Every structure is written in structure tokens, then in C-alpha cells.
Amino acid sequence: MIDCLTLHNFKAFQQAELPLGPLTLLTGLNSSGKSSVLQAIALLRQSYEAGDLAVSEYLPEARRAGMTASVANQGFLLNGELVGLGTGVDVLHEDFPGGGEPLIGLGVGEGPYHYSWLVEYEAEQNLLPLFHADLPLTSEGAAAPTGPEAVTPSFLTAPFQYLHADRISPAEFYPRDHHAAIGRGFLGVRGEHTVNFLRHHARDEVPEGPLRHPRAESYLLLDQAAAWMGELCPGVDIQADAIEGADAVRLSYGFQGTLGATRRRRPTHVGFGLTYVLPIVVACLTARPGSLVLLENPEAHLHPQGQTRMAALAAAAAAQGAQVIMETHSDHVINGVRLAVKRGRLAPAQVVLHYFRGDGTGVDFVSPQVDTDGMLDQWPEGFFDELENTLDQLIG
Ligand SMILES: Nc1ncnc2c1ncn2[C@@H]1O[C@H](COP(=O)(O)OP(=O)(O)O)[C@@H](O)[C@H]1O
Ligand SMILES: [Mg+2]
């Protein structure tokens, strides 16, 4: 699990050290830096998956030994499957401290290990060249094994999902990309592989534990997904089918009591919200101990009660051992997580809350803590206080 993320000259952050937990909520005003946190993690994954992060190489030594070729393609790959960040000029923090060559850095703490990568600034480049990659260091400062035994950070190789705020909309057909959905188990940043994934894994069991929905027809993924979708939209069930002779899959919905068993509705004939949240439900339900799940605005297009239930599902994924980091604007999501703590589904220490206050020049954040009753130890100004503010004005 990533328990600390360091950002240096990265977009809105000049320098920040952000503690992360099994369930982390990133909140704050628009443009306050929430998505940038997810993007930083995704950027490291993307660079690693492209073979551009030399985690086991000690660069300065490699350089001294004249091994330039081996490090030539190392660095941050700014544009790829997970994130499209533009070029160096978009990523470098505008007000980097003057003097010297600007460097952009990201660091990740995982238990006793700390990893960091510093890259050089190249205004127009898509790959920012690696300047320095530290070996993992233990908290005592002793170097971890080097060479082939070097420890690869687990967040780079763990099962991973990253769902952007902008996700799939209802469609007649969805892509059938075997490599992404089945080979890698990746739902796509817009959730575009979810239907194919669900079709292929429909009969996988959701393991015993907090993710299992008590009222689902079975422990199988498709029934479990249907039961959780039913929490968000009562009475709904879902089906995912391959289309013979076409590289596409189809999703359909049934509604108890309104349609016969054989008549099903296409996504384009049910509310937008259902299709929009399906990737989030599947990402949470398939999260396992060690998985890393990044979610942008899981509440989007859901009614308030659905938002609270969505938070319960994310809390269940974290309780099952996954790490869930989500950006949210929703009181109902925050409250759903607080309720999960109060009900003992998650320990208070498993929840990390950050409230970002960007002031246009940098990012500042505060981190209210949840106690066993689900209460917060502080309530900074602007932190989900709009309901109260408006009520005061209505009543006053
Ligand atoms: N290179 C940069 N230097 C300084 N600030 C930046 C840079 N790139 C983006 N930003 C700032 O980051 C903010 C956008 O961050 P983002 O994480 O998308 O916000 P959120 O998800 O909270 O809405 C904006 O305020 C933008 O001005
Ligand atoms: Mg955002």
C-alpha cells in the first residue's frame, strides 16, 4: 500500500507530502489539485508499464559506468493509456523555486520502503528524462538489495484500476478488447472495457467478506454486481453478452416488476447514471488485497442515497484489503465513509481525508480525522459546509 506520496514541482504542487491510507478521500474546491494526485500515481504506473522507470537501476552509478544506453529511455512518460499530461511545460509547477535546473519529482512510501524519481524538465518533451532514481531505502536509511533483487514497488505491479470522471455513456455496444479486459483485467480509464470484463468474469466468485452483498442471488460476480447496482437503483439487474461475429459486447438491464424475464432494456433506454456507475461498482467488487483503485468522482450521476451506498462499497473494497483513493465532491460519499467507520466496517485509522485549498499559487491541505463514532476532529471552513451556510441564509 502507498502510505505516502511526495510531489515536487508537479503541476499545482510545489512541494507536498501526502499521507494515504487504505481508503483516502481527496476533497476540495474545483482546480485545487485533487486529480493531480491521482495523475501522479497513474503517471508512475504508465511510465513503468511502458518500461520507462528504472526501478532496479542505480542511475548515478550507471552513468558513471558510462551506461547511458540503458537509461536513455527512462523517465516520466507524460502521455499514454492512463493519463495525457501534455509536455514538460504543462507539468512543471509554474513557480518552481528559481535558480538551477528545474526538476520534477515524485516519491512513494510503501511501508519501510521509500522510492523516488526525479526527472529533468524538457519543455516540449513527452518523455521527461530520468535524472535520479533512488533505490528503496528502509526507514533506518539502509539500502535495500540492489541489482536483480531490488524491490519493485508493489503499486507499480499490483492489480490496478483508474477511472476518470469522464466515463462511458450508455451505448448499444461496447468494445471487446481481449487484451485489456481479460489479459490485464483493466476496465479502461473510461470504464470502456467493463462490459466485456463482466461478460468474461461473470462467474468468478466474489470472496467471502465485506464486498459480498448479502441479498445477491449468488456469490458470482455478475449477481453481486447486479445486487450492488440494485442498491444504487432499486430492482435493477444486469446482463452482459457477446455479440456473435462482432468484436463487441452488449449490456442490458432488467427491472423487477416492470418487465417480463425475457424483455430487457438497452443502456440507451435506462437512465444515464446506471451505465456511468457500473465501472465503479465492478472496480470495487473485483478489488482484492493489494489492489490499487483510483476513482474520480464515483458519485457522479447518482442520487444522494446511491452516493452513500457507493461510499459503503468503496469502504468494503478497502476493508477487503485494497487501497482505494478517490476524489469526491459529495457530502454523501464522505458521510457514507463516516458511517462505515461508525459501523465498524473500517477502523478510523484506515480512512484518510484531505481537504485541498488551492489559492492559485500552490496547494495547501488539511486532513480531518474520523473517530470511531464517525465524527471528524476538525471542520475547516469550506469543507462540506455549504448546506449549513445556505440553510442559515434561508432561515435567517
Ligand atoms: N504546471 C502547473 N503549475 C501550476 N499549477 C498548475 C499546473 N498545472 C495545473 N495547475 C493547477 O492545478 C489545478 C488543477 O488541478 P486538478 O488536480 O485538475 O484539480 P481538481 O481535480 O481539484 O479540480 C488548477 O488550479 C491549475 O491551475
Ligand atoms: Mg478533478
What SS3 class is residue 43?
helix
Domain that holds residue 197: 160-286
Looking at the fold, whether 349 and 265 belong to one and the same domain comes out as: no
* Res 165: pLDDT: 94
Q: Which ligand has its closest atom nearest to the C-alpha of 365? A: 1
Mean pLDDT of 82-97: 92
Looking at the fold, whether 222 and 317 belong to one and the same domain comes out as: no
Q: Is residue 72 scored above 70 in pLDDT?
A: no
How many domains would you assign to the chain? 2
* Res 143: pLDDT: 57
Question: Of residues 122 and 259, which shows the higher confidence score?
Answer: 122
Condensed to tens digits (0 to 9), the pLDDT of residues 259-304 reads: 455 578 888 887 778 888 999 999 999 999 999 999 999 999 999 9
Looking at the fold, whether 20 and 42 belong to one and the same domain comes out as: yes
* Res 98: pLDDT: 66
Average pLDDT value for the chain: 88
C-alpha cell at 167: 466515463
Question: Of residues 132 and 242, which shows the higher confidence score?
Answer: 242
Q: Is residue 395 scored above 80 in pLDDT?
A: yes
How distant, in Å, are the alpha carbons of 72, 95, 206 from that of 59?
A: 11, 28, 43
Question: What confidence tier does 84 reach under pLDDT thresholds 50, 70, 90?
Answer: very high
Residue 242 Cα to ligand 2 midpoint, Å, equals 34
Is the Cβ atom of 164 under 6 angstroms away from ligand 1? Answer: no
Angle 306-198-173 from CA coordinates, rounded to 5°: 90
* Res 254: pLDDT: 84
Which atom of ligand 1 is the closest one to the Cα of 94? 3
Calpha distance 101→40 (Å, rounded): 21
Looking at the fold, whether 154 and 174 belong to one and the same domain comes out as: no
* Res 174: pLDDT: 86
DSSP per residue, 100-123 = S--EEEEEEEETTEEEEEEEE--T
Looking at the fold, whether 129 and 13 belong to one and the same domain comes out as: yes
C-alpha cell at 393: 441564509
Query: Which residue owns the Cα nearest ligand 1 atom 20?
Result: 31
Judge whether 348 and 354 are in contact, CB under 8 Å: no
DSSP per residue, 338-385 = HHHHHTTSS-GGGEEEEEEEE-SS-EEEE---B-TTS-BS---TTSS-
Pocket test for ligand 1, best of 7, 8, 9, 11 (most atoms within 8 A of CB): 11
Give the domain-ending residue among 259, 286, 313. Answer: 286
Q: Which ligand has its closest atom nearest to the C-alpha of 90? A: 1
Judge whether 190 and 321 are in contact, CB under 8 Å: no
Residue 105 Cα to ligand 1 midpoint, Å, equals 16
Angle 119-293-278 from CA coordinates, rounded to 5°: 135
Condensed to tens digits (0 to 9), the pLDDT of residues 177-188 reads: 888 888 899 999
Residue 124: name the closest of 170, 96, 146, 91 by CA. 91
Calpha distance 67→287 (Å, rounded): 40
Which amino acid appears at position 205 of this protein?
A: E
Cα four-point dihedral sign 145, 147, 149, 153? positive
C-alpha cell at 371: 473517530
Condensed to tens digits (0 to 9), the pLDDT of residues 201-211 reads: 999 999 999 99
- Give the full edge-to-edge strand order of the sheet including 4-10: 13-19, 4-10, 103-110, 113-120, 127-137, 75-77
Condensed to tens digits (0 to 9), the pLDDT of residues 330-363 reads: 999 999 999 999 999 999 999 999 999 876 667 8
* Res 261: pLDDT: 54
Is the Cβ atom of 188 under 6 angstroms away from ligand 1? Answer: no
Looking at the fold, whether 11 and 91 belong to one and the same domain comes out as: yes
Element (H, E) at 222: helix 221-232
Helix runs in 23-73, H state only: 34-49, 59-64, 68-71
C-alpha cell at 337: 465513509
Calpha distance 199→301 (Å, rounded): 24
Looking at the fold, whether 64 and 174 belong to one and the same domain comes out as: no
Is the Cβ atom of 201 under 6 angstroms away from ligand 1? Answer: no
Is the Cβ atom of 306 under 6 angstroms away from ligand 1? Answer: no
Give the domain-ending residue among 286, 310, 341. Answer: 286
Pairing of strands 160-163, 292-296: parallel
Least confident residue range of 47-61, 82-96, 381-395: 47-61
Which atom of ligand 1 is the closest one to the Cα of 92? 1
Condensed to tens digits (0 to 9), the pLDDT of residues 25-36 reads: 999 988 889 999
C-alpha cell at 263: 424483455
* Res 287: pLDDT: 97
For the chain, percent of residues with pLDDT exceeding 90: 60
Which of 56-65, 103-112, 267-276, 311-320 is modeled with the greatest confidence? 311-320
Helix runs in 286-359, H state only: 304-319, 331-342
Looking at the fold, whether 264 and 294 belong to one and the same domain comes out as: no
Give the domain-ending residue among 267, 286, 305. Answer: 286
Mean pLDDT of 369-396: 90
Looking at the fold, whether 215 and 150 belong to one and the same domain comes out as: no
Residue 267: name the closest of 173, 166, 193 by CA. 173
Looking at the fold, whether 139 and 124 belong to one and the same domain comes out as: yes
Looking at the fold, whether 39 and 141 belong to one and the same domain comes out as: yes
* Res 44: pLDDT: 97
Looking at the fold, whether 210 and 262 belong to one and the same domain comes out as: yes
**Which CATH number goes with the domain that contains 308?**
3.40.50.300
What SS3 class is residue 135?
strand
C-alpha cell at 82: 492512463
CB atoms within 10 A of CB 389: 11
Mean pLDDT of 6-15: 94
